[in-house]
Structure 1
Amino acid sequence: MAAWTTNDIPDQSNRTVVVTGANSGLGAETARALARAGAQVVLACRDVAKGQEVADGIGENAQVRRLDLADLSSVREFAAGLAATHETIDVLVNNAGVMAVPFRRTADGFEMQIGTNHFGHFALTALLLGRITDRVVTVSSTMHRIGKIDLDDVNWERRRYERWPAYGQSKLANLLFAYELQRRLAAHGSPVKSIAVHPGYSSTNLQYRSESRYGKLVELVTPVIGQSAKMGALPSLYAATSPDAEPGGFYGPGGLFEMRGHPKKVSSNARSHDEYVASRLWELSERLCDVQTPLTST
């Protein structure tokens, strides 16, 4: 793949894209680039005021709607509101997330990281899937490699909580979901694509809000070795717009250790391709989130 940039984004006129977590960082850069290419972008943000600042900078191609992925009632409200105004949505970019936060729970009692990063996006995708016409892009991380899905204790009710393994579990869940979604879409003859991405090591607010003991070190190191949010957003933009983005593909930076660089197709670990765990996680997610899709059975 050549050095793909935002200049390669095809014309997005007459297309609607929903980007979660678009009030800052990768989400904001994704929204800006899509809007410049002509798309109507819905900034789905927990912090509406910050989202509005981004939207004001974009102009008439952007609108802000409140979405708190750590609260399923908010996810349902957002999906219902969007359905009332949009018959179809071309692309959903599941971008928002939290990283390595201290132990806490979502409004629905999920561990915060898997609750926000996976369950919130799973429910959102399920509720919007009937309106999505082109593709679903889910942002994972190279940290999926340290993750392990404990189907009997995904919410850390019996295990001693460890913030980085919990983050890794949530990012592995993102990949298992993206791959399983593609399998189910294909089995049902749907033309919709499910594509996963990761941003490498990008200098964004996520790096500074981990609340971990290494927070100060991260603040010092990130500007030196991390790439810009604009570069980190390129895999998402490629997956969301390129006609060459493959269904079921995984894209990330093409540089050393996939930390920075232009997007390319990358690989993920064996755990992310475990179809049994992916199917079980899908069923568990449907039950815990109380949502179902036309893809419930394959």
Structure 2
Amino acid sequence: MPDAASPAGRTVIVTGATSGVGEATARALGAAGATIVLTGRNTDRGRCIAEAIGGGAEMHRVDLADLSSIRDFADAFADRRVDVLVNNAGVMAVPLRRTADGFEMQMGTNHLGHFALTGLLLPRITGRVVTVSSAAHLLGRIDLDDLNWERRRYDRASAYAQSKLANVMFSLELERRLAASSSPVCAVAAHPGYAATEVGSHTGTWFDKLFGFGKRVLQRTPEQGAESLVRAASDPAVRGGFIGPRWLLYGAPGPAGLARRARDRDTATRLWELSEKLTGVRFPLERPD
């Protein structure tokens, strides 16, 4: 029998797997022997990647900005086992837009979409849930009174940072609830550091300067960025926490620094409860003491 965290012989779902770090993660785990389920909106691109990965890899269309699309995908897996879920898909520093369900696009896609997907798939997950965040979480603040930017003046960079902080807080709270429920499943947060991808190069914010610096100096590929995600998904020594590059934006993956706000358990609990209310998805887990 393979190790519970080893990708060989396991079924792994990767969201946002049709480009960038998500694609690199899917290819790496597929090369290690996993059966890969790619999800995203570009089905033509996804099918080409699935064919290149081989080993039974398949592509499914999932729009994380639409709860009905997420539910349809989860229903399609009602009788299938999922060993690892990698919540990778995301949008970055986009202008103010709303999801199909009225959520601010970055919070709706990056956090609430993955929250709903995880909750709906959890009864079929046997191994681990990896949720991808960013170093930008260090700048994030959770506004529980206006999570979806309905009253505040919208700031796209701040909205992105809030969504990435929500990713980390969700993963840490999920791990606590899994432990409280004596579940064998574990939750791990990860971030790729800087990687030269299509996301974030033309945001109209200070992120553009950061990405420009990264391209000139760090020159890290999507494959290098994916190393943290692959380790979080497959290293049996990793059983929770936050995995990222040693030097924040680059370096070998290992335990990464967390913002103090990410450790705020009261806010994490309230964010969880608000996310359940907004998505209508409740997890079959005990609340930790």
TM range, smaller chain: over 0.9
Q: Read off the aligned partner of 1:231 and give its amino acid letter.
A: Q
Q: Which residue of 278, 281, 287 maps to 1:288?
A: 278
Distance in 1 between the 2:207 and 2:165 partners?
Answer: 23
Deviations 1:109-142 (A, max 9, x none): 0000000000000000000001111100000011
Does residue 1:269 correspond to 2:259, yes or no?
yes
**Which region of structure 1 is more displaced relative to structure 2, 54-63 or 40-49?**
54-63
Structure 2, unaligned stretches of length 5 or more?
Answer: none
Deviation at 1:184, TM superposition (A): 0.3
Change in CA separation of 1:72 and 1:12 when aligned onto 2, cut-off 3 Å: same
> Secondary structure of 1:159's match?
coil
Q: Which residue of 227, 246, 254 maps to 1:254?
A: 246
Equivalent positions of 1:141-152 (< 5 A) are 141-152=134-145
Q: Which residue of 221, 224, 231 maps to 1:228?
A: 221
Deviation at 1:78, TM superposition (A): 0.7
Does residue 1:197 correspond to 2:190, yes or no?
yes
Deviation at 1:220, TM superposition (A): 4.3
Distance in 1 between the 2:212 and 2:228 partners?
Answer: 25
Distance in 2 between the 1:242 and 1:268 partners?
Answer: 20
Does residue 1:38 correspond to 2:33, yes or no?
yes
Please say if residues 122 and 285 of structure 1, whose CA atoms lie closer than 8 Å, have aligned partners that are also in contact. yes
Distance in 2 between the 1:213 and 1:264 partners?
Answer: 29
Change in CA separation of 1:133 and 1:159 when aligned onto 2, cut-off 3 Å: same
Please say if residues 35 and 61 of structure 1, whose CA atoms lie closer than 8 Å, have aligned partners that are also in contact. no
Deviation at 1:211, TM superposition (A): 3.1
Deviation at 1:199, TM superposition (A): 0.6
Please say if residues 93 and 136 of structure 1, whose CA atoms lie closer than 8 Å, have aligned partners that are also in contact. yes
Change in CA separation of 1:219 and 1:183 when aligned onto 2, cut-off 3 Å: closer
Please say if residues 19 and 31 of structure 1, whose CA atoms lie closer than 8 Å, have aligned partners that are also in contact. yes
Deviation at 1:223, TM superposition (A): 2.2
Change in CA separation of 1:163 and 1:216 when aligned onto 2, cut-off 3 Å: closer
> Structure 1 vs Structure 2: percent identity of aligned residues?
53
Partner of 2:102: 109
Q: Which residue of 81, 85, 90 maps to 1:92?
A: 85
> Secondary structure of 1:184's match?
helix
Deviation at 1:246, TM superposition (A): 2.5
Count of matched residue pairs: 283
**Which region of structure 1 is more displaced relative to structure 2, 22-31 or 212-221?**
212-221
Partner of 1:7: none
Q: Which residue of 149, 157, 160 maps to 2:153?
A: 160
Equivalent positions of 1:27-66 (< 5 A) are 27-66=22-61
**Which region of structure 1 is more displaced relative to structure 2, 57-66 or 213-222?**
213-222
Runs of 4+ in 1 over 6 A off after TM superposition: none
Structure 1, unaligned stretches of length 5 or more?
Answer: 1-9
> Secondary structure of 1:42's match?
strand
Change in CA separation of 1:236 and 1:215 when aligned onto 2, cut-off 3 Å: closer
